[in-house]
Structure 1
Amino acid sequence: MRSSLSAIALLALLSACGGGGEGNPVTGGPGNETGTDSGSPANDSAVTTGTTTRRVAGDLTGVTLNGDNTLTIDDLPFDGPEGTGAERYTYMGLAAVEATGAPFAQYESGDASAETNQRKYFAVYGAGAYTTASAVGTGDYNGFGWGGAQYTRSGVSAPDIARQGEAVYEGGYAGVRVSTFGGGENDVSFTTADATIEVDFLDFETTGAIEGAIGVRNVYDINGAFLGTLPAISLATAYSDEDGFIFDGAASSLDRTGSNAGDVFESGTWEGAFAGPNSEEIVGLIVITGPAREGQSDAGGFTQTGLDDDTVDGFNAQETGVFIATDP
């Protein structure tokens, strides 16, 4: 039986998203040094410009959707020289992935040349009426490599979170999943799922209560081929501050296979924000880590000799995902 994994503290994801102590390609060695935050996200890396507030986690410092449907992602190494246009991530047009209905599209950094784009990154990006959300990762490092996530909200600096009663928000989720199979593009896959967020606005009295779930995840390789499914993610009770930021959330999934069924499969954190003048939307990010596969027939596309549903996968994976959900 797989022993339970403890939920990591809020915003430990800032180090988990980074080089993880194994940041250099091929040779290993020191990764990037990233600190951990405590308290409400509104008090650390949230940056407001005009009427748009941006929150980032991990190594990146910003994600911009350009008018030609490319992404510019700041501060990730070897994804194209900044300011030249070569750093732009292009839309992949993965019809099978988009057909799942999640409101996100997939992007990739440029192909390597003799002098540029020495690492290959993959990203997801989506937008709501008041929000955007994106996540990025690479398989070109010994560990989970460089990457991270961003969400933004616009229109108001502090949504009305003094609503009465309860609400159920529904929407979509997309993630970039990086495994430790062996390095390179085969280590990266995309995930999509439905997202449901439940809110009790006045209980608890000063913070409310926010819970939810990401449904069973469909997994696709970087060419859009379906690989299988992964368990649903439970989003434990979190809270909001007066500015509408959601914090202190633990995320986990349960194994569905063999004698490990019911054991914790992945664990991590989640956070987010209310958006819109009447809190019509919720946007957020999740970072979750665990074994790369549940069993021999599960997502990943690789066969490990002797692997069966009762065997704990020796490879690990980290998924960085984002969601946008609306109160219908």
Structure 2
Amino acid sequence: MSINTAVKAFGILSITAMVACGGSGSNPVTGGDSDDDVVTDPGTDPNASLTNAAFLFDPSKNLVANRFDFTPGATPGTGTITINNLPFDGVSSEGGAYTPRPGVVLPNGEVYQNTPNSSAEDQYYAVVLTSPTTGTGALVGAVATNAYRGSGYGGAYASRPEGAKLPPTQAATYQYTGTYNGIRVLRQQEDIGATNAIQLTTGKAEINIDLQDFDLTGAIRGQIIDRRLFDLDGNEISVAGRGLGRIGLVITNLNPDTLMTESDSTNPGTTNTRNLDNSFAQTGTWNGMVSGPNGEEVAGFLVVEGQLSDFDPNYDSDTTRDPVTGRETGGFITSRP
């Protein structure tokens, strides 16, 4: 089996030129200016103190990216992005940014990449979506690299402006639909010298909210469907007529006060993909938040990891070889009618 090859770089997908967190022009997750000091163990999950942003936090898996800033360009596809807390990415408060990858446009936006200044710096990829709805300002993103033997450093992120609310007259349930962008690192072995592959994914996101139950909180669930797979040059490598399998966003709590997912040990926000026989393949977690003064959007991020589903074009059925494993991180923004 041959994994679709990819070169090292760093990318981001965008749809519109908007930023989150109160329209300040940035999306702060931690205080102070961005720098390259990698915070891998702050003692407790720093998400606990955040009210309008969240990021995928698991230092044991090198998921440490904690802030995305998008600066719009004069025309679509010319903006720049900075991401905080990634080692050796060449971007800090001293300068550096990620710019569009020339000539590559995917269904949900452009691809961006950084420019390492020396062999001491690594190249990363990422995907980003910004809100298509005026006035809501949601931003989501995910980042990864194939510069390491394992999945390497990366992460996922979501933010919104202050003042997220639902309409004064609330329906029992809300339905949201929108777009998803993801990035994944594939590997079949972790021997020294082995090259991991980077691939990009797109899809449609569906989110449902029930405000009446659970009794003490609302409930939220969803799925990512119509997933398609691309290489870094924008070539589709999905199986014709089939694409990739769905990612399930398993039901979890929605805090009625913060309008953010409220996962705990008894009811975590988990994700999964399935094999052709409907057994579980990859698993992970997800987070979401309502955005907009009238709850116009739900934005969030996810991770799935483990052995690929046999639905996947990169699946290797030869049991004499190591299985193909991978980690996909991604973000979604959905809107209600």
Instruction: Flag whether TM exceeds 0.5 (same fold).
Output: yes
Partner of 2:211: 201
The amino acid across from 2:336 in the alignment is D
| Structure 2 CA distance for partners of 1:267 and 1:76, relative to 1, 3 Å | same
Q: CA deviation at 1:323?
A: 0.4
Pairs within 5 Å for 1:94-113: 95=104, 97-98=106-107, 102=108, 104-110=109-115, 112-113=116-117
Partner of 1:64: 69
Q: Distance in 1 between matches of 2:113 and 2:168?
A: 37
| Structure 2 CA distance for partners of 1:195 and 1:312, relative to 1, 3 Å | farther
Q: CA deviation at 1:32?
A: 7.9
8 Å contact 1:173–1:323 — kept in the other structure?
Answer: yes
Alignment counterpart, residue 44 of structure 1, candidates 45, 48, 57:
48
Alignment counterpart, residue 286 of structure 1, candidates 302, 325, 328:
302
The amino acid across from 1:108 in the alignment is Q
| Structure 2 CA distance for partners of 1:184 and 1:70, relative to 1, 3 Å | farther
- Aligned to 1:44, the other structure's residue is in SS state helix
Q: CA deviation at 1:268?
A: 0.8
Q: CA deviation at 1:314?
A: 1.4
Pairs within 5 Å for 1:4-19: none
Q: CA deviation at 1:89?
A: 1.1
- Aligned to 2:118, the other structure's residue is in SS state coil
Q: CA deviation at 1:67?
A: 3.4
Pairs within 5 Å for 1:94-243: 95=104, 97-98=106-107, 102=108, 104-110=109-115, 112-114=116-118, 118-128=121-131, 129=133, 130=136, 131-156=138-163, 159=166, 163-181=170-188, 187-228=197-238, 229-241=243-255, 242-243=257-258
The amino acid across from 2:106 in the alignment is V
Report Cα offsets for 1:34-91 as digits up to 9, x if no partner.
47968xx9x6152x5xxxx2222231121111234111111111111523433x1111
Q: Distance in 1 between matches of 2:259 and 2:152?
A: 31
Q: CA deviation at 1:292?
A: 3.6
Q: Distance in 2 between matches of 1:164 and 1:197?
A: 15
The amino acid across from 1:279 in the alignment is G
Pairs within 5 Å for 1:247-258: 247-248=262-263, 249-256=269-276
8 Å contact 1:185–1:222 — kept in the other structure?
Answer: no
Q: CA deviation at 1:219?
A: 1.0
Q: CA deviation at 1:148?
A: 0.5
- Aligned to 2:286, the other structure's residue is in SS state strand
8 Å contact 1:140–1:184 — kept in the other structure?
Answer: no
8 Å contact 1:168–1:197 — kept in the other structure?
Answer: yes
8 Å contact 2:209–2:221 — kept in the other structure?
Answer: yes
8 Å contact 1:164–1:202 — kept in the other structure?
Answer: no
Structure 2 segments unaligned to the other structure (5+ residues): 1-37, 57-62, 74-78, 264-268
Structure 1 segments unaligned to the other structure (5+ residues): 1-30
- Aligned to 2:262, the other structure's residue is in SS state strand
Q: CA deviation at 1:184?
A: 8.1
| Structure 2 CA distance for partners of 1:161 and 1:55, relative to 1, 3 Å | farther
Tell me how large the CA RMSD over aligned residues is.
2.9
- Of Structure 1 and Structure 2, which has the larger fraction of its residues in strand? 1
Partner of 2:92: 82
Partner of 1:264: 280
8 Å contact 1:247–1:272 — kept in the other structure?
Answer: no
| Structure 2 CA distance for partners of 1:158 and 1:32, relative to 1, 3 Å | same
Partner of 2:31: none
8 Å contact 2:128–2:139 — kept in the other structure?
Answer: yes
Partner of 1:17: none
Partner of 2:53: 54
| Structure 2 CA distance for partners of 1:177 and 1:115, relative to 1, 3 Å | closer
8 Å contact 2:274–2:280 — kept in the other structure?
Answer: yes
Question: What fraction of aligned residue pairs are identical, expressed as a percent?
Answer: 29
8 Å contact 1:96–1:225 — kept in the other structure?
Answer: no
8 Å contact 2:187–2:195 — kept in the other structure?
Answer: no
Q: CA deviation at 1:238?
A: 1.3
Q: CA deviation at 1:299?
A: 3.2
8 Å contact 1:106–1:124 — kept in the other structure?
Answer: yes
Count of residues in Structure 1 that have an aligned counterpart in Structure 2: 272
Partner of 2:292: 276
Q: Distance in 2 between matches of 1:190 and 1:320?
A: 10
- Aligned to 2:106, the other structure's residue is in SS state helix
Partner of 2:18: none
Report Cα offsets for 1:168-203 as digits up to 9, x if no partner.
100011111012246787521111110001111212
Q: CA deviation at 1:157?
A: 5.1
The amino acid across from 1:218 in the alignment is R
| Structure 2 CA distance for partners of 1:154 and 1:81, relative to 1, 3 Å | closer
